[in-house]
Amino acid sequence: MQLFDIVISGGAMTGATLALALNQRFNGRLKIAVVEAFDPSEQEHPGFDARSIALSDGTVRILQAFDLWEHIFPYTTPIQHIHVSDAGHAGMADIEPEHAGLSALGYVVELADVGRIYTELLRQCSSVSLFCPQQIELVDRQPDSVTVTLKNFGDIQAKLLVAADGSASTCCELLGHTADVYDFEQSAVIANVAVAQPHSGRAFERFTPNGPVALLPMKNERMSLVWCMEPGQAESISSDDGFAEKLQQVFGWRLGKILRAGSRAVYPLKLTVRSRTVSHRFAVIGNAAQTLHPIAGQGFNLGIRDVATLVECLEQQQPGDVGDIAGLLKYQDRRCSDRNQTAGITSSLVSLFSNQWVPAAVSRNLGLMFFDLVPLLQQPLLKRTLGHVIR
């Protein structure tokens, strides 16, 4: 049986970031196993598909601390401006980097690019073993270790098992870490679109009666689209030949004509939160710990803060035992406030902008106007969306 210090279940964005961060912080002294069900080199890998994500300034700083940003930066597009609007109403707001004293409000990167980068970096780490494609079937915890049974391999053993395997986490199911789930009764249509005018680093969040529409700037003058709506409508419109025209009607002409849209994917939207993120020899991070609505793009950035905090807590563990429960409980305690506040804010934004009751619409549009006119009002929300939070 192969012995490791840490087994990470899930080798997509969050799990791979954790493996690389641990390798950097512990100078390769830890033996790490990454168990991943899908081959990262395959284009169909669900964790490194055609989607793009927005990396907040706080996430960039974390990636810099782990020596990862220099590898990712060449593939990113900076966000130089964010425009927020409420369809059918006068309220709107514009956010500039200068409001936060930054050169960019964040960066957009395609998951497929990060997948290639991370796969190569992991292969260069002699202390990291990649079990792929593999699946965890059983988890057996002993006082001083945890034994993981892989479907087509057998047993491997470690001091600590970390679940980074998404909202439907197999490890959490096996170990009884249940989740509270709230169905937003929305699905997100994901696509890359080409527009007639240069985006100039502009990002857009437009709230409509059916759900928010977000467009993020990408390389080659493309935009990454996240269009939220009722599930049946999402399935229908995603396969509609007139998809670009329908998007134009909802989004408007801020980027000129929407020339074409690439392949579309549909994802159901649910808030999933596990109240327990640690137990004996076990920790949970990223989407396995909490899955948020994509409004304001906070999900992955919250997960990276999980990674950074867990690494810090493991650095403080007793020598030779990274799975000691004392350090894991510190991790859970430190992450509680950030998790709750970020999940609460994103869910509240969904409710606020979905409410078509006239007084509510008037109130939120007045709020947007004041938000735009008084920069001081932007600071609390801006700090959270930029990832400048206590963790």
Task: Give me the pLDDT at residue 370, please.
Answer: 42
Do 124 and 6 sit in the same domain of this protein? yes
Q: Are residues 117 and 161 in the same domain?
A: yes
Q: How far is CA 281 from the centre of its chain?
A: 25
Q: Pick from 269, 286, 318: which residue ends a domain?
A: 269
Whether 280 and 260 map to the same domain: the answer is: no
Q: Domain for residue 51, yes or no?
A: yes
Q: How far is CA 83 from the centre of its chain?
A: 21
Q: Would you say residue 200 lies in a domain?
A: yes
Phi, psi angle pair for 29, to nearest 5°: -75, -25
Peptide bond into 97 cis (omega under 30): no
In this structure, are 195 and 263 located in the same domain? yes
CATH of the domain at 205: 3.30.9.10
User: For residues 7 and 146, what is the distance between their CA atoms, to the nearest angstrom?
Assistant: 9
Q: In this structure, is residue 379 part of a structural domain? A: no
Residues 53 and 146 in one domain: yes
331, 296: one domain = yes
Q: Domain containing 282 — which CATH number?
A: 3.50.50.60
Residue in 171, 157, 140 with CA at minimum distance from that of residue 36: 171
Judgement on whether residues 323 and 261 belong to the same structural domain of the protein: no
Name the one residue in this structure whose structure tokens are 């810099």.
Answer: 64
Q: Which token pair is 260?
A: 């074409």
The answer to whether residue 6 sits within a structural domain is: yes
* Global model pTM greater than 0.85: yes
Residue 378 lies in a domain: no
Whether residues 260 and 296 share a domain: the answer is: no
* Cβ–Cβ under 8 Å, residues 339 and 290: yes
Who's near 187: CB < 8 A, 6+ residues apart? 228, 229, 230, 231, 234, 235, 266, 267, 268, 269
Q: Is there a single domain that holds both residue 28 and residue 45?
A: yes
146 and 33 in a common domain:
yes
Query: Is 211 domain-assigned?
Result: yes
Give the pLDDT score at 256: 96
Q: Where are the alpha helices (DSSP H) in the chain?
A: 13-25, 57-65, 69-72, 111-123, 170-174, 231-238, 243-251, 299-315, 325-354, 358-373, 375-385
pLDDT at 177: 98
Return the closest-CA partner of residue 187 out of 212, 223, 218, 215: 212
**Helix, strand, or coil (residue 50):** coil
CA distance 28 to 18: 13
Buried b (16+ CB within 10 A) or exposed e, 38-77: bebeeeebebbbbbbbbbbbbbbebbeebebbeebeebbb
**Phi, psi angle pair for 304, to nearest 5°:** -70, -30
* pLDDT tens for the 391 residues of the chain, in order: 899 999 999 999 999 999 999 999 999 999 999 999 987 655 555 544 568 999 999 999 999 999 999 999 999 999 999 998 876 655 677 888 987 889 999 999 999 899 999 999 999 999 999 999 999 999 999 999 999 999 989 999 999 999 999 999 999 999 999 999 999 999 999 999 999 999 999 999 888 888 889 999 999 889 999 999 999 999 999 999 999 999 999 999 999 999 999 999 999 999 999 999 999 999 999 999 999 999 878 999 999 999 999 999 999 987 779 999 999 999 999 999 999 999 988 887 776 555 444 444 444 444 444 444 445 445 666 778 889 888 8
Tell me the C-alpha distance between 24 and 42, whole Å: 26
Q: Please identify, among 206, 241, 269, the residue that sits at the C-terminal boundary of a domain.
A: 269
Whether the CB-CB separation of 188 and 267 falls below 8 Å is answered with yes
Any domain includes 217: yes
Q: Is 283 helix (H, G, I), strand (E, B) or coil?
A: strand
- The full 3-state SS of 315-341, as one line of letters, equals HCCCCCCCCCHHHHHHHHHHHHHHHHH
Give the total number of structural domains in the chain: 2
Q: Is residue 387 part of a domain?
A: no
* 287 plus 261 within the same structural domain: no
Asked whether residue 257 falls in the same domain as residue 153, the answer is no
Domain that holds residue 169: 2-74+110-180+271-348
